[in-house]
Structure 1
Amino acid sequence: MEDCRLSTDLVVDILSRLPVKSLMRFKCVCKFFYDLITSDRHFMDTHYGIRKAKTDCVLLEAGLVVREYYLLYKESSEIECIYLDIPPTTRVQWVKCCQGMLCLISPRNEITYKLDHGDYLIYDIWICNPSIKKVKALPSLTVPYRLPYDAFVRNEFGFGISNDMTLKVVMLLEIYSLDDGGRIPHQMTLVYSQVGGESWSLRQINNSVTSCCDIEGANNDFYLKGRYYWRAERVYDGYGRYLIWFDMNCEVFGTIELPVVSIYSVSIMNETIALLGYSGKDDWDFSCIEILLMMEDDNNTYWNKKSNIDCVVNVDNNESWRPIGIWNLDGELLVFIDHRNDWDSDHSDPDHAHDVRGVPYFISLDLVTQERKMFSLSKQRKSITIASNSTADF
């Protein structure tokens, strides 16, 4: 940088406009570039703010017993894949996404099994920036509650960033005693937040909104505009479907009521919440995917139908389209092609059964032009292959 005739601000502005692949090459130019690209938080935020208008990403999870994670992203019109090389020994059970960064969470305890009284719950957490292939381990999180009984645990997590650029992990925790049949849980909500530099703080906050039992599974949680959202369905104390949100700034919870429609997943489109479901004649009619957008007017929330997409369904092959999410900035729908009869019921080993299902195929569908690109994860699970007849009917 000593011989550079450009000002530092101008160099930073130029670098912040480069695609990720170019940044990876520029890391090798000089120490200033390397430190800027890999460690400067302001540069990372500026780069994300500029590039997010041209790129988008979605997190995919595959595998039954051994989980694998992939970050699909678009660079202009090209679809590419980053394989998250997470060692199986880490037993990562939750991966959350916020503005291109990932939060990986692994329990020290075998939480799917019985916990003995006197145990503490401990979690290992990493923050991953897949675009620069950088992973940072956080100080381990120890729940400040010692189990007074044999128990099992339910967890839900969220990951986001506040307006002052503080990273936060929110944890919804329920501990069920095995002595009373697991009916009355001890509930805790914890916020693990960045204090400065390498320091993190843990504190307990109030949450009277929901139970972990109500929160739905994959493809139903996301970060948007300072809030983390979970889709939930109340069953035991009055039926209802809603979104739970946690504000990363005020650290309070709230809810948004959902319409009575068939919902498969929740996503983001045009900086607002989108519901992806089916508008068929019955619960088993997957011939048409429907997209609803949340609208707000004078503090009132309502849902507006954005579009309907006719699916090409192979009934004989028991094939259906499963909407995963929106490439929200370009207005493209990401769909998983589900071949249900690929499951080999003669194999009791879930890992083997996953292999029998074959290569996962996806469709990226432009909601304006209706152009469809079909692609698949490779058998090595580390790249994607675009089908040669992407625009053809399937």
Structure 2
Amino acid sequence: MVIMNNDVVTEILLHLPVQSLLRFRSVCKFWADVIDSRYFRKLYTQNNDNNKADDKVYLQFSLSNGQIRVQHNQKSLISDESDHFKGIGVGRVRLHGPVKGLICIECTNLGLPIAICNPLLGQLKHLPLIPNTSCTIICSSVGVGFDGDCKVVQLLSCKTHRCLHTHVYSGRTNSWRELNEHNGVLVDLQLRYDNTIKSACTNGYYAHWRVCRRKEGYACSSEILSFDMKNEAFKTTVLPGEYARSKIFAEDEHSFRRFDIPDALFDNLVGIYELKCEEGKLSWHHVMNVNVPLYGIPRSTSTSVLFEQYMGTFVYDFRARKFVSLLPKRSHIGSRTFEYRGSFVSLNA
């Protein structure tokens, strides 16, 4: 029998996906001690991009009687028995992420707390409430990020001051603080109804939203609002044209694609466009049209993004630049499917 030293074992374990590591804890006490150590998990989080094909799973989120549940293959990963969301329907709860294995659960009722969870570690945490404001808030949205610290950013569309109010939560301090307005960037901005931009970025340094900026009269521009988690700074990108029924997807921190998903059940042709800058001017360049598969089980791909529609959830592989499947709509009310890659980022102090 070949006996490997501790450094070699640790190096091998660092290259395995989280799901495998959680199973390998039962191999022997030494492996369990290594995998459970704070040093190993910190090193794994720093060195791992959570982008392994075999580390991707599809989880099922449900909200029933105010209780949050996350399941994988009918096995419960999280079952929150608190009554924070009692009386709230799933239609008024949004999921954001995952970023570094963290999923943010937002309720459109500002009187209820935002929650974050790490399903594979079985951790769920309700964040402190943000102090009430006297402003007239039209709508809100959040973004989750990671820069060595778990961060959640909340945007509030304020009718009173015609701007966005912003707060950032830090996992280290377990508290919120208000961000000062950044050089007029957030003035005259309002969140769009379908404001969250899904992202394939695995490092969690940026969050993006769709917003509109009020101009003279009733005119407004369509823009992308981006937040840099490291520097805690906002910037906007003015979009050419108005595509109210399209989905926008961030391939990385600065590259965006537009998906024109059909409304009709019998039409499965999706147009894909890439945002490019030529001679200092942004424009949408047509990349391709793809037929969305109507049936089939999702293949294991390096990375993909989900788009929830009335007929099901589209799975798009952004590296292959095509849709690989469509997950059927769940028959029971109050459930959502989302793609997940695990991590060892802990919500515990």
Fold shared per TM-score above 0.5: yes
Q: List runs of 5+ in structure 2 lacking aligned partners.
A: 339-349
Separation (CA, whole Å) in 1 of partners of 2:55 and 2:276? 25
What residue in structure 2 maps to residue 180 of structure 1? none
What residue in structure 1 maps to residue 249 of structure 2? 267
After superposition, the C-alpha distances for 1:20-64 in whole angstroms (9 at most, x for unaligned) are 432221233434145248982332343x42644655578887889
After superposition, the C-alpha distances for 1:303-358 in whole angstroms (9 at most, x for unaligned) are 43222114589xxxxxxx9xxxxx9845x67565645xxxxxxxxxxxxxxxxxxx
2:13 pairs with 1:15:
yes
After superposition, the C-alpha distances for 1:131-189 in whole angstroms (9 at most, x for unaligned) are x233252651432x664x8x656322111123xx122221222456xxxxxx5568532
- Over 3 Å counting, the alpha-carbon distance change for 1:54 and 1:268 in structure 2 is farther
Separation (CA, whole Å) in 1 of partners of 2:74 and 2:273? 27
After superposition, the C-alpha distances for 1:242-293 in whole angstroms (9 at most, x for unaligned) are 2111111221211112232645212244773221115x8x999955311122
After superposition, the C-alpha distances for 1:41-93 in whole angstroms (9 at most, x for unaligned) are 332343x4264465557888788997988799xxxxxx999976455833283
What residue in structure 1 maps to residue 22 of structure 2? 24
2:218 pairs with 1:230:
no
TM-score, normalized by length of structure 2? 0.65
Separation (CA, whole Å) in 2 of partners of 1:300 and 1:81? 50
What residue in structure 1 maps to residue 181 of structure 2? 206
Separation (CA, whole Å) in 1 of partners of 2:213 and 2:60? 26
**Preserved contact between residue 199 and residue 252 of structure 2 (Cα < 8 Å):** no
For residue 304 of structure 1, the aligned residue among 274, 285, 289 is: 285
- Over 3 Å counting, the alpha-carbon distance change for 1:218 and 1:156 in structure 2 is closer
Q: State how 1:1-394 maps to structure 2 within 5 Å.
A: 5-28=3-26, 29-30=28-29, 31-36=32-37, 40-46=41-47, 48-49=48-49, 51-52=51-52, 55=55, 85=79, 89-91=83-85, 93-97=93-97, 98-105=99-106, 111=110, 124-130=113-119, 132-137=120-125, 140-143=128-131, 147=134, 154-162=139-147, 165-174=148-157, 184=161, 188-195=165-172, 199-200=174-175, 202-207=177-182, 208-210=184-186, 213-217=190-194, 220-222=197-199, 224=201, 226-234=205-213, 237=216, 238-260=219-241, 262=243, 264-269=246-251, 272-278=255-261, 288-295=269-276, 301-310=282-291, 329-330=302-303, 334=306, 338-339=310-311, 360=312, 372-376=324-328, 379=331
Higher relative contact order (CA 8 A, sep 6+): 2
Deviation at 1:191, TM superposition (A): 1.9
Q: List runs of 5+ in structure 1 lacking aligned partners.
A: 73-78, 112-120, 177-182, 314-320, 322-326, 340-359, 385-394
In the alignment of these two chains, the number of paired residues is 313
Where 1:217 maps in the other structure, the secondary structure is strand
Separation (CA, whole Å) in 1 of partners of 2:81 and 2:115? 13
**Preserved contact between residue 200 and residue 305 of structure 2 (Cα < 8 Å):** no
Where 1:230 maps in the other structure, the secondary structure is strand
Separation (CA, whole Å) in 1 of partners of 2:179 and 2:46? 29
Report the identity percentage: 17
Where 2:328 maps in the other structure, the secondary structure is strand
- Over 3 Å counting, the alpha-carbon distance change for 1:36 and 1:248 in structure 2 is same
**Preserved contact between residue 70 and residue 78 of structure 2 (Cα < 8 Å):** yes
- Over 3 Å counting, the alpha-carbon distance change for 1:253 and 1:53 in structure 2 is same
TM-score, normalized by length of structure 1? 0.59
